[in-house]
Structure 1
Amino acid sequence: MAQNGLEAAIGRRRFLALAGAAGGAAALAGCGGGGGSSSGGGVTYWVPPNTELSLMQGFLGQIKTGYQQKHSGSKLDSVLVPWEEALTKYTAAFSGGNPPDVTYQIIPWMNKWRTTGALADFRSLDKGFTEKFVNGVNPDYVKAAEGTKGELLGLPYVGGYWVLVVNEAVWEKAGKPAPPKTYDEMIPFAQAMTFDKKGRKLGESGYDARNVEHYGMAWAPSPPIQDNYLWHYFWSFGSDYISADGKDIGFNNDAGRAALQHMKAMVDSGAATPPNLYTEDERWRAAVMAGKCGMAWSEGFTQEYAQKYPNLRIKVLAPPAGPGGAYVVGACGFLSVAAKSKNKTAALDLVKYLVDEKPLQDFNKLILAKPVRPQPSDYYDGLSDPRMTRFMNEAAPLSKFVKTTRILPYQPQEYLMGKVNDYLVGRQGLDAMIDEASKQIKQMAKAAK
């Protein structure tokens, strides 16, 4: 999810649809035939597995039945393409003369096709439907799917972002301090939830920092996790990780330095998890679920967590605000029609069916993705565990805070995460880190031309 800027924005397991991580099936598995465009007015849909293979196959079977009932005489062939093979297979198909009619896309792939002419423009296929559909969709999702001439090369289908959560048991142990509304309030809130194994709070006499029971804030040194909160620190303070022209860093300014200094203040506060606490990403992801920390940025309350932690209670918080506003890092999955499709009418009909209210809600609930536009407060009702339902219904309205990472011809995120961490753990001073990062990004931007 090398990792790119959006690959980790959802997580490696639950939201593979958005993340772009390898996983799911080991070989092509279909609900119907394979290959490119169907003949005789049919349509072919290629999609990587967004959840467990059996569940994904079941959903595609439902889609086939529903679509063919609505469009009598039509034929739908859905093909599951393994994530680790998807880009290679897509590339070969689009280069040939018989591509799949409809494909599921993620932002890194959209970047690849943006200037190749491989994808059709929805605004040319059906402008009225397209403009009606994107009305209310987070503008960043729409922008991520646009071509260089304003074409819309993909319809935003399912979204995702990590949200700030609190373990309610740890929060109650701390006396239910007021949740933070700003980044300035995050540090004392985290400190209030930091306890040693004898129940002494950070700052109290005798507190043992070598034997911590609950840290206040999870600060994971893992790129797939940091991708989900480092960037919105910059945005919230009024800067960016890359300059507006994409040729330099965007945080060599007062706002960017303030964001970095605030990150370091959290890391140095005594309330943040030490970088050597865990070595596995999954343990970092589950730290707040396990009660090792009181607060963390989290991808979601999954069925696995529900089963493993039967007494777990998680509260979703609104993202804190900085001088520049409040944001969360978002990713998106898109539906696209091939420019060389021989069945564009049928392909567009399939896309319209997939994004229709009921099939779309079913898909969001199946893979625990978040909606690309505001939805009713009971949108996720009926999930297998009421705590999952509560989590998703609390998290869904936060889509309005989504901002996606930059559309660039190179991927600077993992390098920049390493440099930020060098500063946070004291391996490099702020000025030296900024200077070195600027030189490297300039080289990466120049090489990408």
Structure 2
Amino acid sequence: MIPEKVLLMRSATIIPGLILCLLFVGCEPRQERRLTFAVGGAPAELEFWEELLGEFRRESGIEVELMRQPTDSDQRRQGLVIPLKAGQADPDVFLMDVVWLAQFAASRWLEPLGARMEESGLPEGVFFSRVIETADRHEGELVALPVYVDGGLLYYRRDLLEKYGLPGPPQTWDQLIDYSLEVQAEERNTNPDFFGFVWQGAQYEGLICNFQEIAASGGGGILVRDGEISIDTPPNRRALEFQRDLIHRHRISPPSTYTTMKEEEVREAFQRGNSLFERNWPYAWRLHQGEGSPVRDKVDLAPLPHFPAGTSVSTLGGWHVGISRQSDAKEESWKLLRYVVSYKTQKKLALRLGWNPGRRDLYEDSEMLAELPHFGRLRDVFDHLLPRPVLPYYTQVSSVIQRRLNAALSGQAPPQEALAAAEEQVRQIARRYQPE
């Protein structure tokens, strides 16, 4: 046993030492935790993100590690779902495809942003309000912000319309058919590979975007009301019949539309000079206008056509930024998120990468419009974007609809039969997620 006197002597020595130690520790500057930011894309995009994060580091003193994800969207989603489902703190901040937002929000993986927006004085009004309301809000709570906004557009050969005396881009789908038939018949005298209209009809997500734009422009679309999903409706049957007829009846779209036509196949066909009209995303503009492009300075863009009594519709696409609810550095994460959606950063992403900003106020920037004049027309299109069904299980629904739509385009099933089968299958999926 240690004598009481010795214990007292030791206490007199140890306790002041502990107090001094705690004081010194408390006086040390708090070390910011290193953030992890997950983003994918092409090598040039990732290199620019590294540059932007270096600038953020110098301005804020916060270290950020870039978690490089692949270009493939499905692989990127899976690369986020695994750590989020496991409750891991990293990544702290990440970009999400708009169609993932419902799943991520319903799974409670996203940190609410409303209070921080108010505290920091960042107004929601600088963003496209329709995008915020239809995509970034879940159960009334803001959970993400748009970084890159996408929407379907109609590209057209301005020189060919002028050559054949046709007045501007078509306003209706019937006009598109008429213009295509006239120009295609003449152009094939010298170019047998020429088609009137190229669009995305292969069995993948792009087919749903194309179908939705045509269907909704005539009062249809994939509708979700009170948990019920409606697909087999008269406007949707007309839209799918119209798409099928473009290939098999009017023959103004190539037979490969339902086998291989995705974004790049469509862009390349149009850019080689083999089409009058093209449905594609805004990214194609820079490539069409690039050095060596056969259609450079011959192209213009317009809103997509519509059916009589309908209105033009563009499918909402793009990437949104959010903070993990499990992040252990939420204050620092918010600073990074605000930097990503800032006017300065969004402008750099537009000028360097051609990204369409999520901020509406940038579409009035004079420097931006001088460099990217087509942005003036994008703003009006982006004010009327339509999201795909906002469902936590959308990826499963999408897989079913893609397959059924493609079967109708290929002639394997009549449009009404394909839509009826799709509706039955997606309703079965929905029932599995309904609360008991």
Q: TM-score range by the shorter chain?
A: 0.7 to 0.9
SS of 2:347 mapped into structure 1:
helix
Residues in 2 aligned to 1:216 and 1:413: alpha-carbon distance in whole angstroms? 28
Residues in 2 aligned to 1:382 and 1:158: alpha-carbon distance in whole angstroms? 20
Asked which structure has the greater CA Rg, the reply is 2
Q: How does 1:279-294 map to 2 (within 5 A)?
A: 279=260, 281=262, 282-294=264-276
Q: What amino acid is aligned across from residue 290 of structure 1 in structure 2?
A: R
Task: Pick the aligned partner of 1:233 from 206, 210, 214.
Answer: 214
Task: Pick the aligned partner of 1:70 from 59, 76, 93.
Answer: 59
Q: How does 1:239-278 map to 2 (within 5 A)?
A: 239-252=220-233, 254-268=234-248, 270-276=250-256
Residues in 1 aligned to 2:271 and 2:156: alpha-carbon distance in whole angstroms? 9
Residues in 2 aligned to 1:41 and 1:440: alpha-carbon distance in whole angstroms? 50
Residues in 2 aligned to 1:86 and 1:283: alpha-carbon distance in whole angstroms? 22
1:404-436 C-alpha deviation (Å, 9 max, x unpaired): 101122433343244334444544334433333
Residues in 2 aligned to 1:360 and 1:217: alpha-carbon distance in whole angstroms? 33
Q: How does 1:76-87 map to 2 (within 5 A)?
A: 76-83=64-71, 86-87=76-77
* Alignment match, 2:4: none
* Alignment match, 1:301: 285
Task: Pick the aligned partner of 2:385 from 385, 396, 402.
Answer: 402
Structure 1 residues 178 and 364 mapped into 2: Cα distance closer, same or farther (>3 Å)? closer
1:93 and 2:93 correspond: no
Residues in 2 aligned to 1:138 and 1:269: alpha-carbon distance in whole angstroms? 40
SS of 1:270 mapped into structure 2:
coil
SS of 1:228 mapped into structure 2:
helix
* Alignment match, 1:446: 431
1:167 and 2:157 correspond: yes
Residues in 2 aligned to 1:60 and 1:198: alpha-carbon distance in whole angstroms? 48
Shift of 1:392: 4.7
> RMSD in angstroms over aligned alpha carbons?
3.1
Residues in 2 aligned to 1:364 and 1:318: alpha-carbon distance in whole angstroms? 21
Structure 1 residues 443 and 292 mapped into 2: Cα distance closer, same or farther (>3 Å)? same
SS of 2:141 mapped into structure 1:
coil
Q: How does 1:15-414 map to 2 (within 5 A)?
A: 40-50=31-41, 52-65=42-55, 67-71=56-60, 73-83=61-71, 86-94=76-84, 95-127=86-118, 129=120, 132-147=123-138, 149-195=139-185, 199=189, 212-224=192-204, 225-252=206-233, 254-268=234-248, 270-276=250-256, 279=260, 281=262, 282-299=264-281, 300-303=284-287, 306-312=290-296, 313-322=298-307, 323-374=309-360, 375-376=363-364, 378=366, 380-381=368-369, 389-408=372-391, 409-410=393-394, 411-414=396-399
- Matched residues, number: 391
Give the TM-score of the pair, scaled to structure 2. 0.78
Structure 1 residues 119 and 43 mapped into 2: Cα distance closer, same or farther (>3 Å)? farther
Residues in 1 aligned to 2:300 and 2:357: alpha-carbon distance in whole angstroms? 19
Shift of 1:268: 4.8
Please tell me whether the aligned partners of residues 109 and 324 of structure 2 are also in contact (alpha carbons under 8 angstroms).
yes
Shift of 1:288: 1.5
1:65-93 C-alpha deviation (Å, 9 max, x unpaired): 2x24433x433333323356544443443
Residues in 2 aligned to 1:198 and 1:336: alpha-carbon distance in whole angstroms? 50
Residues in 1 aligned to 2:175 and 2:279: alpha-carbon distance in whole angstroms? 16
Q: What amino acid is aligned across from residue 342 of structure 2 in structure 1?
A: D
Structure 1 residues 283 and 78 mapped into 2: Cα distance closer, same or farther (>3 Å)? closer
Residues in 1 aligned to 2:243 and 2:288: alpha-carbon distance in whole angstroms? 31
* Alignment match, 2:13: none
Structure 1 residues 127 and 445 mapped into 2: Cα distance closer, same or farther (>3 Å)? same
Residues in 2 aligned to 1:76 and 1:326: alpha-carbon distance in whole angstroms? 42
Identity in percent? 16
Shift of 1:122: 0.2
